[in-house]
Amino acid sequence: MSSKSLLAEMRQVQLAIDLIELGARLQVLETETDLSRARLIRLFKEIRGMSPPKGMLPFSTDWFITWMPNIHSSLFYNTFLRLQKDQGCERMEAFISAYRLYAEQVEIDGAETVLGLTRAWTLIRFFESDLLQLSACTRCAGHFVAHAHSPTHDYVCGICQPPSRAGKTRKRQQSVADRKPAKASPLPLDHRMA
């Protein structure tokens, strides 16, 4: 094996390791690397300590349009584009770096990571297939994920115009309930003052 092909294989292995550590599914690894399925499964087991999960990848663009996923997807995708255009990163280098930056930012903000790596990868593929586009908000001028070919002349993002139930997740409602002081329970009838 020549040193050039050995270096190329080492890059493929490192790419697979990076993706597995970030939570990639086997289908993502098979698509983005030249490594055999058997080798990818061995790598996955070695790194994650278990077999790769089975099942289909997400395939609907609608998930990326809903309120919270849209905000997270837009943050990730704009970072991905900046890394490609401004920093000259190659596609997968930009993808991994953008995902790491997204995860770090969410952690700094103390929020939940809404966009998993597999969904982030699917998002990139949807853009590459012209199923999604970025639309500029007419209020804040931010660029947000939207269905391809949808009108943009009066587009308002979910941050400027959140839906009525925005932020009312079960976890958030529970955290608010935990912070409320407990109501004093009334005394039994025989202990009340007359």
* Angle subtended at Cα 83 by Cα 80 and Cα 84, rounded to the nearest 5 degrees: 85
pLDDT < 50 stretches in the chain: 176, 181-194
Q: What is the pLDDT of residue 183?
A: 46
Query: Token pair 């997968």 is at which residue?
Result: 92
User: In terms of domains, do 52 and 139 share one?
Assistant: no
Nearest Cα to 32, choosing from 115, 85, 99, 78?
99
* Domain assignment present for 170: no
User: In terms of domains, do 62 and 98 share one?
Assistant: yes
Contact 137, 156 (CB under 8 A): yes
Residues annotated as binding site? 137, 140, 157, 160
* Domain assignment present for 2: no
Contact 156, 135 (CB under 8 A): no
User: In terms of domains, do 26 and 100 share one?
Assistant: no
User: In terms of domains, do 129 and 146 share one?
Assistant: yes
User: In terms of domains, do 25 and 106 share one?
Assistant: no
User: In terms of domains, do 23 and 89 share one?
Assistant: no
Report the relative pairing of strands 132-136 and 143-147 from DSSP bridges. antiparallel
User: In terms of domains, do 130 and 142 share one?
Assistant: yes
User: In terms of domains, do 117 and 99 share one?
Assistant: yes
**What residues make up the domain containing 125?**
57-163
* Domain assignment present for 183: no
Residues annotated as binding site for Zn(2+)? 137, 140, 157, 160
Domain total for the chain?
Answer: 2
* Domain assignment present for 159: yes
Give the tokens for residue 114. 């809404």
| pLDDT tens-place string over residues 27-44 | 999 999 999 999 999 999
Query: Token pair 């490594």 is at which residue?
Result: 35
Tell me whether residue 71 is exposed, middle or buried, using C-beta atoms within 10 angstroms of its C-beta: 0 to 12, 13 to 18, 19 or more: buried
Q: What is the pLDDT of residue 4?
A: 81
User: In terms of domains, do 121 and 80 share one?
Assistant: yes
* Domain assignment present for 91: yes
* Domain assignment present for 79: yes
User: In terms of domains, do 47 and 63 share one?
Assistant: no
Q: What is the pLDDT of residue 186?
A: 44
| pLDDT tens-place string over residues 92-107 | 999 999 999 999 999 9
Give the tokens for residue 183. 């109501």
Contact 145, 69 (CB under 8 A): no
* Domain assignment present for 99: yes
Q: Specify the DSSP class assigned to residue 160.
A: T
User: In terms of domains, do 61 and 140 share one?
Assistant: yes
* Domain assignment present for 136: yes
DSSP, residue by residue, 170-186: HHHHHHHHHHSPPPPPP
3-class DSSP assignment, residue 167: coil
User: In terms of domains, do 102 and 155 share one?
Assistant: yes
- CATH number for the domain spanning 110: value is 1.10.10
Q: What is the pLDDT of residue 2?
A: 77
